[in-house]
């Protein structure tokens, strides 16, 4: 069973016996089949996420969002996903507004909150801290990002976005060429995504990082399964050539501990000139966001904002249906959702894109 016996769910819920672990801590929990199953549910959730249909299957359920590190899209999209399924959200942000500021342990915090809610999303600056929450909790815990470790739901929505973008272009992820660009040492979204790409076959994965910010070797091993070819470079022109997807990432200065960052100048930036000069005409440009818009950051440029190749806002939009699908699987209501969506409630469809 996906939920332990002392796991609370709203009374109306039917807890299924789906093949999911009680917590979502790492993409390593996924097989190719379970990813595809999740994406099928995310597809079903799209009209709910877009306010074209309503679904109240989590009526009475409570999500606790515990974010001990800055977030805009992960916290809000998890909350929006839960609310659009009929549930309610309790938030706490930062250590200052948690009793951890008074010395409370992860164990006590997790055990206490698990008595109040039905599922908890945790973001924490230390790798492994979310797994510690899971050890003390009797309800499902979702990793919303643990330091430089993993960000599983971000990588799932990234992969989902790739699949949808490729579908529009009559391409498949299998056999494609994906370029991951930027701070691949500290970028937890890139770590989770590289591991998930290892579930696909015949990929070329280019890891384009400046010296000192290269992808950890253990993640290269996971990405290179299934005959995938990994190429590491710090040359933008050759790294971007032939790529179907550019996945740019921010330099995570908040995680650096005296590392010297060499070569991350303007010649490393993904901008209109680089895309027009080095890339295939139908390349897809992605980024987990936030992008650093401060002078000298050389993150993904805003000069691509109105370019159809830029998928970043389609990517953020996909955060809601993918996170709805995660809740549906973890709380065992995925079958109920499919039935409830037979009753269609249209909400201002003329206003929707």
**Interacting residue ranges for ligand CP, rule: CB under 6 A:** 71-74, 145, 151, 154, 288-290
Rounded-to-integer distance, Cα 315 and Cα 154, Å: 9
DSSP symbols for 175-222:
T-EEEEES-TTT-HHHHHHHHHHTTSSS-EEEEE--TT-PPPHHHHHH
Strand partners, 38: none
Provide, rounded to whole angstroms, the least separation between the CB of residue 69 and ligand CP.
Answer: 8
Min dist. Cβ of residue 195 to ligand CP (A): 17
Shortest distance, position 270 Cβ to ligand CP, whole Å:
16
Considering the complex, what minimum distance in angstroms separates the CB of residue 302 from ligand CP? 17
DSSP string, 107-172: HHHHHHHTTT-SEEEEEESSTTHHHHHHHH-SS-EEEEEETTS--HHHHHHHHHHHHHHHHHTT--
Task: Classify residue 218 by burial, with Cβ atoms within 10 Å: 0-12, 13-18, 19+.
Answer: exposed
3-state helix, strand, coil in the chain (%, to 5): 40, 15, 45
CB of 72 to ligand CP, least distance (A): 4
Nearer to ligand CP, 175 or 290 (CB): 290
Rounded least distance, CB 123 to ligand CP, Å = 7
Nearest to 336 by CA among 37, 131, 45, 34: 45
Q: Which is nearer to ligand CP, 75 or 164 (CB)?
A: 75
- When the beta carbons of 324 and 333 are compared against ligand CP, the nearer one is 324
* Least distance (Å) between residue 7 CB and ligand CP: 26
Between 122 and 289, whose beta carbon lies closer to ligand CP? 289
Q: Which is nearer to ligand CP, 239 or 288 (CB)?
A: 288
- With respect to ligand CP, which residue has the nearer C-beta, 74 or 109? 74
Residues 308/275, Cβ–Cβ less than 8 Å: no
The torsion angle over the Cα atoms of residues 23, 25, 26 and 30, rounded to 10 degrees, is 10
Nearer to ligand CP, 53 or 75 (CB): 75
Cβ atoms of 189 and 181 within 8 Å: the answer is no
| Nearest-CB residue for ligand CP | 74
Helix (H) / strand (E) containing 37: helix 32-49
């Amino acid at each position: 069973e996906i939920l332990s016996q002392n796991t609370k769910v709203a009374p109306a819920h039917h807890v299924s016996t789906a093949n999911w672990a009680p917590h979502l801590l790492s993409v390593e929990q996924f097989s190719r089949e379970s990813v595809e199953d999740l994406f099928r549910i995310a597809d079903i959730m799209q009209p709910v996420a877009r306010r074209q249909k309503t679904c109240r299957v989590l009526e009475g359920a409570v999500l606790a969002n515990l974010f001990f590190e800055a977030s805009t899209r992960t916290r809000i999209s998890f909350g929006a996903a839960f609310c659009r399924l009929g549930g309610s959200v309790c938030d706490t942000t930062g250590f200052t507004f948690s009793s951890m500021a008074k010395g409370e342990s992860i164990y006590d915090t997790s055990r206490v909150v698990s008595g109040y809610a039905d599922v908890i999303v945790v973001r924490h600056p230390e790798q492994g801290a979310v797994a510690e929450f899971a050890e003390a909790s009797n309800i499902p815990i979702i990793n919303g990002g643990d330091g430089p470790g993993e960000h599983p739901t971000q990588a799932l929505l990234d992969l989902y976005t790739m699949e949808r973008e490729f579908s529009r272009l009559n391409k498949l992820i299998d056999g494609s060429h994906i370029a991951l660009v930027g701070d691949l040492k500290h970028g937890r979204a890139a770590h989770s995504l590289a591991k998930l790409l290892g579930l696909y076959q015949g990929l070329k994965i280019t890891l384009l990082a400046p010296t000192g910010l290269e992808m950890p070797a253990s993640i290269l091993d996971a990405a290179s399964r299934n005959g995938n070819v990994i190429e590491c470079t710090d040359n933008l022109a050759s790294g971007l050539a032939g790529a179907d997807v550019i996945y740019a990432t921010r330099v995570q200065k908040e995680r650096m501990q005296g590392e010297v960052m060499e070569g991350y100048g303007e010649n490393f930036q993904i901008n209109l000139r680089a895309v027009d000069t080095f890339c295939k005409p139908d390349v897809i440009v992605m980024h987990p966001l936030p992008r650093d818009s401060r002078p000298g950051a050389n993150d993904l440029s805003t000069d691509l904002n109105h370019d159809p190749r830029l998928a970043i806002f389609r990517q953020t939009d996909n955060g809601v249906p993918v996170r709805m699908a995660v809740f549906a699987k973890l709380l065992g209501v995925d079958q109920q959702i499919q039935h409830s969506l037979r009753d269609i409630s249209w909400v201002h469809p003329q206003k929707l894109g």
